[in-house]
Amino acid sequence: MELDEVSLTDGCVTPAGADRIVPPELSDGDLRLRPWRQDDLSALEPVCGDGAICRFTTVPRTYSATAASAWIARHEHYLADRISVVLAIETAASAGPIGTVWLFAIDDPSRGPRIGCWLAPGERRKGFGSRAVTLLVRWAFEQLDVDAVYLDSELENRASRLAIQKLGAARHSYVRRDVRGASVTLERRILPRATFARVPDG
C-alpha cells in the first residue's frame, strides 16, 4: 500500500474556507494511530534507506536527526493545509512507532484522496497495515466529506494487493508512474463509502 508522497502532494490546493483538520488518535484495541511527534525521531532510523519504503515515499534514505525532524515537520504543515493526515502506528508491545499510515490529496478529487502505509521490516505480515488502513478509512468516511478513497499497489506486491481487496476495494485502473527514474505499473483500486460500510470487521 505504498504511495509516492511527493507526487500526491504537489499542486494540491486548500479550498478557501476549509476547516482545519484536527489530527485524530484512533485505536482498535492493541493498535493505535496518533500524530508523529518530534520525540519520535529514533523510530525513523531503522527504516531510512529501506528500499521498500524509500522507493515510494519521502522517508530519508540516510538517517540523521535533522532529516527525521524535517520529515515530521513537513507532515505537520501538510495537515495544517488540509493536504494530508499522516499518523504513526503503534502497538501495545512497541516502544514507539512501527510504521505510518496516511491519507493524501484530501481536497483534490482529481487525484485522491488516497490511502497508503508502510511498516518497519520486522513488523510486516502481522496484519498491522490492514488494521491501520481500516481505522484511517473509517475515520475519513465518518469525519471528512469523503465519498471514496483510492489505494495503489505494485502488481508484484501480492500481499498488499490481497490486503486491499479484503477491504472491499474494486479495481479502478492501472497507473504507470515514474518512481525515482524507473517506470512502475500500479494497480489502483477504489473503495466507496457504501462498500466499506458493508465489509465486516476482522
Condensed to tens digits (0 to 9), the pLDDT of residues 54-111 reads 877 889 999 999 999 999 999 988 888 888 999 999 999 998 999 999 999 887 776 7
pLDDT interval class at 181 (50, 70, 90): low
Question: DSSP letter at 115?
Answer: E
Which cell is 189 given? Answer: 483500486
* pLDDT score of 6 more than 70: no
Q: How do the domains of the chain map onto residue ranges?
A: 5-13+23-198
| Residue 202, pLDDT score | 54
Q: In this structure, which amino acid lies at residue 187?
A: E
* Cα–Cα dist 170/156, whole Å: 18
Could you give the percent of the chain with pLDDT greater than 90?
46
* Cα–Cα dist 33/31, whole Å: 7
CATH tag for 5-13+23-198 (out of 3.40.50.1360, 3.40.630.30, 3.30.1360.70, 3.40.50.2300): 3.40.630.30
User: In this structure, which long-range contacts are made by residues 106-109, counting pairs with CB atoms below 8 Å and at least 24 apart in sequence?
Assistant: 106/21, 106/82, 106/144, 106/146, 107/12, 107/13, 107/14, 107/15, 107/18, 107/82, 107/83, 108/11, 108/12, 108/13
pLDDT interval class at 180 (50, 70, 90): low
| Residue 88, pLDDT score | 97
Average predicted confidence (pLDDT) for the chain: 83
List Cβ neighbours of 161 (8 Å cut-off, separation of 6 or more): 153, 155, 187
